[in-house]
Structure formats: structure tokens, C-alpha cells
Amino acid sequence: MTASADILENRLRVGHRNMWHPVLPAHFVTSSPRSIFRLGFRIVLWRDEENRVIALEDHCPHRGAPLSQGTVMDDKIACPYHGVQVDGTGVAVSVPGSPGCRLEGMRATRSFPVQERAGAIFLFVSEKPNTEPSELILPSELESDEYSHFLCYTEWGGDYRYVYDNVMDPMHGTFLHHHSHSMAEGSTQANFKVREIDNGFVFEKDGQRGVNFDWTEFVDTGAHWLKLEIPYPKTGGPGGNFMIIGSYTPMQDGWTAVFHWRARKVSGWQRDAWRFLYKNRLEYRHWQVLEQDRVLIEDYQPGANLREILYQHDMGLVRLRRYFKQKAEKQLVDAGLV
Ligand code: FES
Ligand SMILES: [Fe+2]
């Protein structure tokens, strides 16, 4: 059986299930409750007294009030409306207005498994509540001593799929970013090919590598990742290419939480030199480049990608869209939702 176009689109709009998604930079979450819209849910997050992050659906099991307006009590939160207390696993542990009522002891609030990795909060969003999470494997560069990275987080007013399309399109570097500090070199024409790798594929220029934005890699390791490298100009200081690792999470109303880890293979004093240079010179330039993407994507009409005439350079994003569709469709079928 296959899912109807509407059901499939509704699912793709809110994102895939049974996987991990980055939702916020880690330092955005404190002991005060924070409410966010991600992946079709409103979610409240806070840190308990041991600094662990708790994530619950921001919906009181009594009458749906936002728990985030309530009071944190270590690993519990008390709803402001009638005081129902929900613990970190989503159980209503106390109903002060009516002790012993049937809500007491019910696990009626969805809780999300949390991992704090590489400076970000990842949530596991399952098809059905209380599902055991799968393993989350990060690209090795994010947890390797040989690399150094900065997490750069932003929110864009465009569908997350446009952001994946944008990064799975190396050729836009040569045009949209031609006047930037790092993408003026190389040919303005290219032939692309797709190379299979474990859990993903590489979309790359035939015959040009290490000159401009020449390839993008997609991998699904329990989360979705895009990876690319752009050579640094001499003014970028010592170390390897400028590596960007991205993951993009749907928010609400077509907005996207954009995560880019900017990484470089660099160690010893050179690592310190790069980190200093990044903060003082390079970060500003990188943001200028990213602004060009943001301005373009935010001005896209919803559904503009329903009328396209694609050519060979779009093979990578066609492949990625197909992967996302097939994965979503399989999840809907497996869950008996179609
Ligand atoms: S709505 Fe939360 S306690 Fe009543
Ligand atoms: Fe770009």
C-alpha cells in the first residue's frame, strides 16, 4: 500500500519519525522551562538539578494548558492551572486538587528521549509514544580530537526541505556565493555523479575537487546529516578545509531550525590560532555567505518546487527527496497510518 499524496506531505512537513533531530543549541536550555515548536509538537524543555535535560510535550494531561508556564520542581513540572505535577517520564505523579483520581499515575504526557551531543540537544521522535530510541551516531568529525568545531545555529523562514535542497546543490556556490571570500574559484560548469556510501551517498563534481564547493555527502545515522567542504583561502590560517556539517529540523509554519557545525581538521597551537581567527575574522564572513542562502530561501513561495524544470546538477537533491519520501512512506505504512 502507498500513502496518499496529502498524508505523505503532512508527514514530510513535520519531519520523519523514529529518529533523532537536533532541536536547540545546548546552552539555550536552562533550569527555566523553554517552549519550542518542533516536528509537529510543542515541546517544553528544562534542566533538572543534575543538569539533565528533560523534554515533554508542552501540554498538560489535565486540560491541555502549556506546562511551560508552570513551575519546575527538579525533574517534575507543576502545571500553573490546577497544579498537576508531571515527571520527566510524562507520568502525572500528583493531582493536588483531587488526590487519587484516575489521572494520578497515568503516563499521559509524551516524553522525548534526549541526548546532548556536540553542543546541541537532540530529541528522539517516535511514531508511538514511549518507544525505545535507536542509537544516535554523530559524524566522527564532531567527536574527534583531530577536529575543532563551532556550532552555528539560526532559524529561517523557509521549509526545511528547501534547506536540504540548497545544501545538496553544490553548484549554487559558484553562482550565489561567487563574490564571497571562498567560492570564486573553479569552473562555472560541471558534470555531477552520485557515489554510494554506507547509509547515504555523495553528490560530487566529476573532475573538480578541493577547489570550490564541489561535493555534498548525505548520511542517515539515526539522524540526517549533510556534509561538505570548501577550501579555505590563505587568510583562513593553518589547518584543513572548511567543513560544514548540517542538519535541519522543521519548526512550525514552514520555519526551520538550521544547525551548522563549522569544523576544521586542526590541532595543537594551530587549533587555537584557528579558533581565534574564526571568532575575530572568519565567522562574520561565514555569516555573510549564509545570509545569501537565507534571503533566497525565505523569499521562495511555498510550493514553488512543484513547478521546476530540473537538469543534471539537480540529481543530488532529486535523490535526497526520493529518499525522504520513501522513508516517510515506509514509516506511515509500518505504523498502519495509511
Ligand atoms: S490544565 Fe493543567 S492542571 Fe489543569
Ligand atoms: Fe549556500
Span 92-130, pLDDT tens digits: 999 999 999 999 999 999 999 999 999 999 999 999 999
Q: What confidence score (pLDDT) does residue 140 get?
A: 96
53-62: b (≥16 Cβ within 10 Å) or e: bbbbbbbbbb
Evaluate if residue 77 carries a pLDDT over 90: yes
Mean pLDDT value of segment 311-335: 97
> Average model confidence (pLDDT) for the chain?
95
- How far apart, in Å, are the Cα atoms of 152 and each of 158, 220, 231, 260, 283? 18, 21, 19, 5, 9
Q: What is the mean pLDDT of residues 188-216?
A: 92
Q: For residues 140 and 137, give the distance between their C-alpha atoms in angstroms, rounded to a whole number.
A: 8
Ligand 1 near 104 CB (within 6 A): no
CA gap 263, 230 in Å, rounded:
11
Q: Nearest bound ligand to CA 77?
A: 1
- How many angstroms is it from 89 CA to the middle of ligand 1? 17
Work out which ligand 1 atom sits closest to the CA atom of 63.
1
Phi/psi at 35 (nearest 5 deg)?
-105, 130
Mean per-residue pLDDT for 296-314? 92
65 lines ligand 1 (CB under 6 A): yes
pLDDT at 75 over 60: yes
List, as ranges, residues with CB under 5 A of the ion ligand 2: 293
CA distance 193 to 191: 7
63 lines ligand 1 (CB under 6 A): yes
Q: Which domains does the chain have, with CATH numbers?
A: 14-125 (2.102.10.10), 140-328 (3.90.380.10)
